[in-house]
Amino acid sequence: GEDVEQSLFLSVREGDSSVINCTYTDSSSTYLYWYKQEPGAGLQLLTYIFSNMDMKQDQRLTVLLNKKDKHLSLRIADTQTGDSAIYFCAERSSGGSYIPTFGRGTSLIVHP
Amino acid sequence: DTGVSQDPRHKITKRGQNVTFRCDPISEHNRLYWYRQTLGQGPEFLTYFQNEAQLEKSRLLSDRFSAERPKGSFSTLEIQRTEQGDSAMYLCASSTRTSGRANEQFFGPGTRLTVL
Protein backbone atom coordinates (compact mmCIF):
# COMPACT_ATOMS: atom_id res chain seq x y z
CA GLY A 1 0.00 0.00 0.00
CA GLU A 2 0.91 3.63 -0.14
CA ASP A 3 3.05 5.04 2.63
CA VAL A 4 4.57 8.47 3.20
CA GLU A 5 7.17 8.94 5.92
CA GLN A 6 8.52 12.13 7.48
CA SER A 7 10.61 12.95 10.50
CA LEU A 8 8.40 14.40 13.22
CA PHE A 9 10.37 17.43 14.42
CA LEU A 10 12.88 19.97 13.13
CA SER A 11 14.30 22.89 15.09
CA VAL A 12 16.25 25.69 13.40
CA ARG A 13 17.53 29.12 14.23
CA GLU A 14 15.91 32.13 12.60
CA GLY A 15 17.76 33.05 9.40
CA ASP A 16 19.10 29.54 8.79
CA SER A 17 17.83 27.20 6.09
CA SER A 18 15.41 24.41 6.97
CA VAL A 19 15.31 21.11 5.12
CA ILE A 20 12.32 18.83 5.64
CA ASN A 21 12.58 15.33 4.20
CA CYS A 22 9.98 12.85 3.02
CA THR A 23 10.07 9.35 1.57
CA TYR A 24 7.24 7.56 -0.20
CA THR A 25 6.70 4.04 -1.42
CA ASP A 26 4.25 4.29 -4.34
CA SER A 27 6.30 4.05 -7.53
CA SER A 28 3.33 5.32 -9.54
CA SER A 29 3.28 8.62 -7.64
CA THR A 30 2.89 11.40 -10.15
CA TYR A 31 2.24 14.47 -8.05
CA LEU A 32 4.07 15.30 -4.84
CA TYR A 33 2.90 18.11 -2.58
CA TRP A 34 4.01 20.12 0.40
CA TYR A 35 1.31 21.55 2.66
CA LYS A 36 1.66 23.85 5.66
CA GLN A 37 -0.67 23.75 8.69
CA GLU A 38 -0.60 26.48 11.31
CA PRO A 39 -2.17 25.90 14.76
CA GLY A 40 -5.95 25.69 14.62
CA ALA A 41 -6.05 26.08 10.85
CA GLY A 42 -6.58 23.90 7.80
CA LEU A 43 -3.86 22.92 5.37
CA GLN A 44 -2.42 25.35 2.85
CA LEU A 45 -0.75 24.08 -0.31
CA LEU A 46 2.76 25.53 -0.48
CA THR A 47 4.06 23.92 -3.64
CA TYR A 48 3.97 20.74 -5.69
CA ILE A 49 6.18 18.97 -8.17
CA PHE A 50 5.49 16.56 -11.00
CA SER A 51 7.36 13.29 -10.95
CA ASN A 52 9.17 14.12 -14.19
CA MET A 53 10.90 17.08 -12.52
CA ASP A 54 14.00 17.05 -10.31
CA MET A 55 13.67 20.46 -8.75
CA LYS A 56 11.25 23.31 -8.39
CA GLN A 57 12.01 26.70 -6.87
CA ASP A 58 9.45 29.22 -5.69
CA GLN A 59 10.85 32.25 -3.84
CA ARG A 60 12.29 30.92 -0.54
CA LEU A 61 11.10 27.37 -1.21
CA THR A 62 13.08 24.73 -3.11
CA VAL A 63 11.69 21.25 -3.70
CA LEU A 64 14.06 18.45 -4.67
CA LEU A 65 12.84 15.09 -5.96
CA ASN A 66 14.91 11.94 -6.22
CA LYS A 67 12.52 9.61 -7.99
CA LYS A 68 14.92 6.66 -7.93
CA ASP A 69 15.11 6.78 -4.13
CA LYS A 70 11.51 8.03 -3.76
CA HIS A 71 12.80 10.93 -1.67
CA LEU A 72 11.35 14.43 -1.58
CA SER A 73 12.69 17.42 0.32
CA LEU A 74 11.54 20.95 1.02
CA ARG A 75 14.16 23.60 1.69
CA ILE A 76 13.10 26.89 3.22
CA ALA A 77 15.74 29.60 2.87
CA ASP A 78 16.15 32.33 5.50
CA THR A 79 13.67 30.65 7.85
CA GLN A 80 11.50 33.08 9.84
CA THR A 81 9.51 32.62 13.04
CA GLY A 82 6.37 32.83 10.91
CA ASP A 83 7.46 29.61 9.20
CA SER A 84 6.87 27.68 12.44
CA ALA A 85 4.14 25.19 11.56
CA ILE A 86 3.56 21.56 10.65
CA TYR A 87 4.61 20.64 7.12
CA PHE A 88 2.95 17.70 5.38
CA CYS A 89 4.30 15.80 2.44
CA ALA A 90 1.67 14.15 0.23
CA GLU A 91 1.65 12.10 -2.96
CA ARG A 92 -0.90 10.88 -5.44
CA SER A 93 -1.01 8.98 -8.68
CA SER A 94 -2.36 10.46 -11.88
CA GLY A 95 -6.03 10.11 -12.73
CA GLY A 96 -8.48 8.33 -10.51
CA SER A 97 -10.04 10.03 -7.55
CA TYR A 98 -7.44 12.81 -7.03
CA ILE A 99 -6.93 11.70 -3.44
CA PRO A 100 -3.48 12.40 -1.98
CA THR A 101 -1.87 10.28 0.74
CA PHE A 102 -0.39 12.41 3.50
CA GLY A 103 2.57 11.84 5.79
CA ARG A 104 2.31 12.43 9.55
CA GLY A 105 3.80 15.91 9.26
CA THR A 106 7.04 17.54 10.41
CA SER A 107 6.72 20.12 13.15
CA LEU A 108 9.13 22.98 12.34
CA ILE A 109 10.15 25.12 15.28
CA VAL A 110 12.04 28.34 14.51
CA HIS A 111 13.77 29.96 17.44
CA PRO A 112 15.45 33.38 17.60
CA ASP B 1 -14.24 35.58 2.66
CA THR B 2 -14.44 33.25 -0.33
CA GLY B 3 -12.52 30.32 1.14
CA VAL B 4 -13.83 26.98 2.36
CA SER B 5 -15.87 27.37 5.53
CA GLN B 6 -16.86 24.77 8.11
CA ASP B 7 -19.40 24.89 10.87
CA PRO B 8 -19.18 24.47 13.78
CA ARG B 9 -15.51 25.03 14.51
CA HIS B 10 -15.76 23.06 17.75
CA LYS B 11 -18.22 20.44 18.92
CA ILE B 12 -18.33 18.70 22.27
CA THR B 13 -20.76 15.84 22.61
CA LYS B 14 -21.48 12.88 24.83
CA ARG B 15 -20.83 9.35 23.71
CA GLY B 16 -23.79 7.90 21.85
CA GLN B 17 -25.07 11.22 20.48
CA ASN B 18 -25.28 12.03 16.78
CA VAL B 19 -23.38 14.98 15.32
CA THR B 20 -23.53 16.73 11.95
CA PHE B 21 -20.92 19.00 10.45
CA ARG B 22 -21.34 21.34 7.52
CA CYS B 23 -18.87 22.37 4.83
CA ASP B 24 -19.33 25.19 2.33
CA PRO B 25 -16.79 24.88 -0.49
CA ILE B 26 -15.46 27.65 -2.67
CA SER B 27 -18.45 28.52 -4.83
CA GLU B 28 -17.22 27.39 -8.24
CA HIS B 29 -15.58 24.19 -6.97
CA ASN B 30 -17.31 21.00 -8.05
CA ARG B 31 -15.21 18.56 -6.01
CA LEU B 32 -15.51 18.26 -2.26
CA TYR B 33 -13.54 16.04 0.11
CA TRP B 34 -13.82 15.06 3.76
CA TYR B 35 -10.80 14.07 5.84
CA ARG B 36 -10.23 13.14 9.47
CA GLN B 37 -7.08 14.26 11.27
CA THR B 38 -6.08 12.90 14.65
CA LEU B 39 -3.33 14.32 16.84
CA GLY B 40 0.09 13.77 15.36
CA GLN B 41 -1.22 12.39 12.09
CA GLY B 42 -1.79 13.67 8.61
CA PRO B 43 -5.27 13.98 7.11
CA GLU B 44 -6.95 10.63 6.46
CA PHE B 45 -9.32 10.58 3.50
CA LEU B 46 -12.96 9.71 4.22
CA THR B 47 -15.09 10.46 1.17
CA TYR B 48 -15.32 12.58 -1.98
CA PHE B 49 -18.03 14.20 -4.11
CA GLN B 50 -18.02 15.44 -7.65
CA ASN B 51 -21.00 17.76 -7.84
CA GLU B 52 -23.75 15.89 -5.98
CA ALA B 53 -22.40 12.42 -6.74
CA GLN B 54 -20.51 10.62 -3.97
CA LEU B 55 -17.80 8.91 -5.97
CA GLU B 56 -15.81 7.32 -3.17
CA LYS B 57 -17.15 6.23 0.17
CA SER B 58 -15.42 2.96 0.88
CA ARG B 59 -12.96 4.75 3.15
CA LEU B 60 -15.62 6.02 5.54
CA LEU B 61 -14.57 4.63 8.89
CA SER B 62 -17.73 2.70 9.68
CA ASP B 63 -21.41 2.63 8.79
CA ARG B 64 -21.94 5.22 11.53
CA PHE B 65 -20.39 7.78 9.16
CA SER B 66 -22.34 9.24 6.27
CA ALA B 67 -22.04 12.28 4.04
CA GLU B 68 -24.33 14.12 1.68
CA ARG B 69 -24.09 16.88 -0.89
CA PRO B 70 -27.67 17.10 -2.09
CA LYS B 71 -27.44 20.08 -4.43
CA GLY B 72 -23.79 19.90 -5.33
CA SER B 73 -22.95 22.89 -3.16
CA PHE B 74 -22.54 22.50 0.62
CA SER B 75 -21.98 19.11 2.20
CA THR B 76 -22.75 17.55 5.57
CA LEU B 77 -20.90 14.80 7.41
CA GLU B 78 -22.88 12.93 10.05
CA ILE B 79 -21.56 10.61 12.72
CA GLN B 80 -24.18 8.52 14.50
CA ARG B 81 -23.77 7.03 17.97
CA THR B 82 -20.46 8.79 18.53
CA GLU B 83 -17.63 7.01 20.31
CA GLN B 84 -14.64 8.48 22.12
CA GLY B 85 -12.42 7.27 19.28
CA ASP B 86 -14.26 9.64 16.94
CA SER B 87 -12.63 12.61 18.68
CA ALA B 88 -10.58 14.30 15.97
CA MET B 89 -10.42 17.26 13.59
CA TYR B 90 -12.68 16.84 10.58
CA LEU B 91 -11.40 18.71 7.55
CA CYS B 92 -13.20 19.61 4.37
CA ALA B 93 -11.48 20.56 1.12
CA SER B 94 -12.66 21.55 -2.33
CA SER B 95 -11.17 21.72 -5.79
CA THR B 96 -12.16 22.26 -9.39
CA ARG B 97 -11.02 21.06 -12.77
CA THR B 98 -9.39 24.44 -13.29
CA SER B 99 -7.14 23.65 -10.30
CA GLY B 100 -5.06 22.08 -13.03
CA ARG B 101 -3.69 18.59 -13.34
CA ALA B 102 -2.22 18.89 -9.86
CA ASN B 103 -5.78 19.26 -8.51
CA GLU B 104 -4.95 21.73 -5.78
CA GLN B 105 -7.28 21.21 -2.85
CA PHE B 106 -8.27 24.18 -0.70
CA PHE B 107 -8.87 23.25 2.91
CA GLY B 108 -11.27 24.69 5.43
CA PRO B 109 -10.29 25.40 9.05
CA GLY B 110 -11.80 22.14 10.28
CA THR B 111 -14.32 21.11 12.93
CA ARG B 112 -12.78 19.79 16.13
CA LEU B 113 -14.95 17.06 17.68
CA THR B 114 -14.54 16.00 21.29
CA VAL B 115 -16.57 13.01 22.46
CA LEU B 116 -16.84 12.72 26.23
pLDDT for B38 beyond 80: yes
pLDDT for B2 beyond 60: yes
Query: Per the CB < 8 Å rule, is A105 touching B41?
Result: yes
Percent of chain A topping pLDDT 70: 95
Using a CB–CB cut-off of 8 Å, the residues of A that contact B are 4, 8, 31, 33, 40-45, 48, 50, 88, 90, 92, 94, 97-105
Which site among A97, A101, A104, A106 would you substitute to test the B interface, given the most B Cβ atoms closer than 10 Å to its Cβ? A97
Q: What is the mean pLDDT of residues A67-77?
A: 94
Q: Taking a C-beta distance cutoff of 8 angstroms, is the pair B115, B25 a contact?
A: no
Which site among A6, A30, A43, A63 would you substitute to test the B interface, given the most B Cβ atoms closer than 10 Å to its Cβ? A43
pLDDT tens column, B55-73: 888 888 889 999 999 988 9
B109 in contact with chain A, both atoms CB, cutoff 8 A? yes
- The neighbouring-strand residues paired with A11 are A109
* Highest mean pLDDT, choosing among B1-5, B89-93, B95-99: B89-93
pLDDT for A1 beyond 60: no
Q: Give me the half-sphere count of Cα atoms (radius 13 Å) on the Cβ side of residue B28.
A: 5
B45: chain A residues, CB-CB within 8 Å: 99, 101
pLDDT for B1 beyond 80: no
Give residue A2's pLDDT.
62
Query: Per the CB < 8 Å rule, is A88 touching B33?
Result: no
Q: Taking a C-beta distance cutoff of 8 angstroms, is the pair A2, A24 a contact?
A: yes
Query: Per the CB < 8 Å rule, is B102 touching A4?
Result: no
Give residue A52's pLDDT.
86
Q: Please give the Cα distance from A29 to A4 (Å, whole number).
A: 11
Q: Taking a C-beta distance cutoff of 8 angstroms, is the pair A35, A106 a contact?
A: no
Instruction: Indicate the average pLDDT of chain B.
Output: 91
User: Any residues with CB less than 8 A from the CB of A82 and at least 6 apart, and which?
Assistant: none
What is the DSSP annotation of chain B? --S-EEE-SEEEE-TT--EEEEEE--TT--EEEEEEE-TTS--EEEEEEETTEEEE-TTSSSTTEEEE-TTSS-EEEEESS--GGG-EEEEEEEE-GGGTTTT--EE---EEEEE-
pLDDT for A95 beyond 70: no
What is the DSSP annotation of A1-27? ---EEE-SEEEEETTS-EEEEEEE--T
pLDDT for A99 beyond 60: yes
Q: Please give the Cα distance from A108 to A11 (Å, whole number).
A: 6
Q: Please give the Cα distance from B88 to B115 (Å, whole number).
A: 9
Q: What is the mean pLDDT of residues B95-103?
A: 69
pLDDT tens column, A15-58: 999 999 999 988 787 889 999 999 888 899 999 998 888 999 99
* Nearest to B84, CA basis, from B116, B48, B43, B46: B116
State the amino acid at position A18 in one-letter form: S
A105: chain B residues, CB-CB within 8 Å: 40-42
